Structure 1
């Protein structure tokens, strides 16, 4: 089974809680605050493992949650930070946020890492809140919640050379003849329904990775047939080998096939049309092939190098392999290019707000709902069982203008205010 997309839930570890503590030592009757900070939660990190070739593992495990940080300790000792959680992915994995469509990164090289869910910082102990006016505060923060999100993983094969062509033109036979790959081969369409990779040894200290990709059909750029499942894998190949059935064994015209496939590649991604392309005129062992090749050369002209081959008899394969290797030596490395993401009715694009103190108020029947990342985080990190912590929370709400905004919206004494999962009574 070849799995090239996966949807995964990840959550960074919560930060450890800070604590309220005071020095209790002999001959120190009025020791000051000594509560330590909590440790940082672990990050969730993707790391490339070149031994992986599919995203199959994510079919069986889809939820990943890092450990939380240790709680703070007495004597001003900090809690330990949690270990990061590492998730292995194959090279060629593209990562996006499911909710926002934000591009998070592309993992290509072995050992490359990408943090996709940050762990929360540890809550501060009461030592941090001591001031000249309050030398013994009974305030400690809870740990910050770790970042959580759903991400989409998409695997694009990392092959130097991609074989393109209609079904049953001989791509699978070709790759099995020039490499150790053992694809399924049979006399029916779409024998190859998942990409096959093979390492081709040229024999002069050069080698390259070739991908035998599922056959294209007309309309593939709009998703017909195996459509986008095929085309996403051709994007990063540096050289394209167009395999044609020059014998016309299924009654198709080689030139029409050539034009159709090239049009589908260009419709899907214009950059593909600029890639170096070689033509493998396959099935030259068929009697009609020589005449078809002569006519094809006249129609194509000198725009593409043409190599007559027979995958079945291995005729011309050595010349094709050397030509591909030479073309790769000259071909530029394909750098990932990000597309501009447009906002549509069914796809919201989130952008960074310059004002980090932004909040907004809505109504849910009789309840006033206050939304805003910073204020929801403040609620989660406030210990409402501590009197000093409650007073600090009220002071911040007033300083940030939340109280005034609620009054402007019509909130009165006794009304219910909801912030995240917390509900409060509005008190004048």
Structure 2
């Protein structure tokens, strides 16, 4: 389930909704009526451009090469007060967790949060009124009707926040990709250099009794990420939608465990203070190199009240116990 280059979490598209159809200025005529009253129908509305949530989608890849999204225009009204057909809506299916923004102002328009949820991105133009609307005692046969209103054209940014049960937070080389490859079917690229994980890798983690949960390995944080340094906001937004944060600190860190944890937490807090309130767990990785005495010493460095566990993905140490800990936190 590694996504590699197939994972796209950002697209910019030009959306043009349909023009409204013109109202009709028709006057009623039939075999017995030479000069009847106005009976021109209304124009149909232009097609909307709509976003629709789909839980089967994980990426915006299918929209990457669709730079222009154009909905069709409404048809004109006709005689016998017949309303013109509405333009066909363009429905773009997107993963749950997609945020729509105005590309010029950066304003967030809405977020798709549920399967099947629909939101109008650019509304179609309203159809014009037919001449029968304008009949009055002083104007029995109006020979005019309204034109339809134009559609809207705007550039839209779509950004995806990955929806996962647990997000892995740590500096590069903290062992996040290795853990994900051990506990799930994901096959993330693993190498010993910063920014190995340039896009979030998602993995389905099997648990007891056929249960499972989704784990997201988010690109490694470096100090200053919240100010846009490194990959910055491009990956920090993925953390917002995870229900539990698993902080990962390697046993061979040059800092103390508390120092490293505090730096990571600060990066998240600067970006979005609400992240401080999410359930947090700590995994001290690469623990196969520790003996019992060293573990006891390192336990003293763990922040008070933070659930923690020593693990080794390579040696399989405490992996099931870690799953238990995560499952409990997800279902609290």
- CA deviation string 1:340-371 (max 9, x = no partner): xxxxxxxxxxxxxxxxxxxxxxxxxxxxxxxx
CA distance in 1, matches of 2:122, 2:131: 28
Matched, 1:297 2:290: no
Correspondence for 1:259: 262
Task: Give the total of aligned pairs.
Answer: 327
SS in 2 for 1:154: strand
- CA deviation string 1:236-287 (max 9, x = no partner): 2111111111134xx554443222212212222222122211111111112x
Matched, 1:65 2:67: no
Correspondence for 1:6: 11
CA distance in 2, matches of 1:73, 1:224: 59
CA distance in 1, matches of 2:188, 2:72: 42
Correspondence for 1:343: none
Correspondence for 2:140: 135
Alpha-carbon deviation of 1:99? Answer: 3.4
- CA deviation string 1:295-341 (max 9, x = no partner): 331122542111111100111000000110011111xxxxxxxxxxx
Match of 1:321 among 305, 320, 323: 323
SS in 2 for 1:322: helix
Match of 1:309 among 299, 311, 319: 311
Match of 2:125 among 102, 107, 120: 120
CA distance in 2, matches of 1:188, 1:243: 16
* Structure-to-structure mapping, 1:350-389, within 5 angstroms: none
CA distance in 1, matches of 2:179, 2:210: 21
Deviating more after overlay: 106-115 vs 49-58: 49-58
Correspondence for 2:245: 240
Matched, 1:214 2:219: yes
Could you tell me whether the CA contact under 8 Å between 1:35 and 1:76 is conserved in 2? yes
Change (3 A) 1:3 1:163: same
Could you tell me whether the CA contact under 8 Å between 2:257 and 2:301 is conserved in 1? no
Change (3 A) 1:255 1:160: same
Matched, 1:39 2:16: no
Unaligned runs of 5+ in 2: none
Pairwise CA RMSD = 1.8
CA distance in 2, matches of 1:168, 1:239: 21
CA distance in 2, matches of 1:319, 1:224: 35
Correspondence for 1:28: 33
Could you tell me whether the CA contact under 8 Å between 1:247 and 1:289 is conserved in 2? no
Unaligned runs of 5+ in 1: 331-428
TM-score (norm 1): 0.73
Match of 2:281 among 278, 283, 291: 278
Correspondence for 1:225: 230
Structure 1 runs of 4+ aligned residues shifted over 6 Å read none
CA distance in 2, matches of 1:292, 1:167: 23
TM-score (norm 2): 0.93
Match of 1:104 among 105, 109, 116: 109
Match of 1:185 among 171, 187, 190: 190
Alpha-carbon deviation of 1:233? Answer: 0.8
Largest Rg, 1 or 2 = 1
SS in 2 for 1:300: coil
CA distance in 1, matches of 2:63, 2:34: 58
SS in 1 for 2:300: helix
SS in 1 for 2:324: helix
